[in-house]
Amino acid sequence: MSSTLTLTHLRFDLVAETRLTLNGFKAGHYLRGALGNRMLTATCPENPRREKPTPEHAAVCPACWLLAAETDPGAVRRAYALTPPLPPRRFVEAGEHFSFGLTLFGEGLRFLPYFVLAVPAAGRVGVGPGRGRFRLESITAHDPFSGHAFPVLQPGSNLVRVPAGPVGWEEAQQAAQKLSTTLGEGSPLQIRFRTPTRLVESKKLVKTPDFGVFFRRLLERIDHLDRQFCGAARRPPDEVRRLYALADRVRLVDASDIRWVDLFGSSGRTGKREPLGGFAGRAVYRAGDWSPLLPYLLLGAAVQVGRHVVRGNGVVEVDWRLSCPSFNISS
């Protein structure tokens, strides 16, 4: 069984009008909060206190459906993921260019206009400590598997073009097949965890990049998004067990660059401080045959993995350290 999950990855190119304080990996937290506030203010007069919405309300309110539809904690996934400015920056000075990414899943693409309006509105109000302001310069849709780009909003224009079309399993499989021709048996695979990746196994926080745990969370996320936003059927248990068994045979051969990043944010709904940290850096793995896992790894890299992806966590890149060093899946 493959996957019917589709996604549209967008890059928002911005120009700072005043100095922005992004504080490195906290940039995604700041951006998500600013976008959420603008969307809720503009479209959700019934929920001014940002309380947890009822399922009935979330079904008719686009902002709550996108941003706060946690009606079934642990099972419901949100229809988007955010990629913060990379590499992480503490400050962006006035006049400097920077960008962030946004990925919309399946039917979530229909809410693209709300983000197009929310980004410049957030720029006018300001983001992060000191409320640094920015302006939107352009929006580009990117195919993360081929690198092809499509202009959605060009500099100096007010015309927003609908992206050419979402991508998904077919494109991930084509990229995997292309890469497989360059790989020999036992080739090393490098994964770069570009932002904190927060994984949990059996209700326990995982602080090392164990491949089996990483792949299980990745496949679960792909399948949950597929069912929720693309109407897919549940993956057969035998297929899940087969893929998990293959992942558990993959060996971690180098994690010397991995570090734990402590990170905290506050919930806009509860006001409570919550941990956002995870591991980041490069890890190298080795498997006898990557081909059964490779399409899922490439698709998973495109959707991000772990907890708090809406705040910029779990951005990963996949590449071959020796046999194909120039290829990567990047946000």
CATH code for the domain of 190: 3.30.70.1900
200 to each of 74, 160, 208, 212, 310, how far by Cα in Å?
12, 39, 11, 12, 17
Burial class (CB in 10 A: 0-12, 13-18, 19+), 255: middle
Same domain, 119 and 199: no
Residue 228 to residues 18, 171, 225, Cα–Cα distance (Å): 40, 21, 5
184 and 315, same structural domain?
yes
pLDDT score recorded for residue 152: 94
Q: What pLDDT does 268 receive?
A: 58
Cβ density class 130-143: b for 16+ within 10 Å, e for less: eebbbebbbbbbbb
One domain for residues 111 and 253: no
Give the rounded distance of the alpha carbon of 36 from its chain centre.
Answer: 16
Does 148 share its domain with 183?
no
Domain boundary residue, one of 109, 127, 153: 153
261 belongs to a structural domain = yes
Predicted local confidence at residue 124, as pLDDT: 96
| Count of structural domains within the chain | 2
What are the residues facing 79 on neighbouring strands? none
Identify the domain boundary among 122, 153, 184. 153
Per-residue confidence (pLDDT) for residue 72, from 0 to 100:
46
Instruction: Classify residue 15 by burial, with Cβ atoms within 10 Å: 0-12, 13-18, 19+.
Output: middle
Q: Which residues of the chain have pLDDT under 50?
A: 69-75, 321-331
| pLDDT at position 111 | 84
Same domain, 210 and 315: yes
Would you say residue 326 lies in a domain?
Answer: no
Q: Which domain holds residue 29?
A: 6-153
Same domain? For 309 and 189 the reply is yes
The answer to whether residue 331 is domain-embedded is no
- In what helix (H) or strand (E) does residue 62 lie, and over which residues does it extend? helix 62-67
Backbone φ and ψ for 8, nearest 5 degrees, come out as -125, 120
State the pLDDT at residue 162. Answer: 86
Burial (CB < 10 A; 0-12, 13-18, 19+), residue 312, is buried
Give the pLDDT of residue 324.
35
User: Could you say which of 86, 118, 153 is where a domain stops?
Assistant: 153
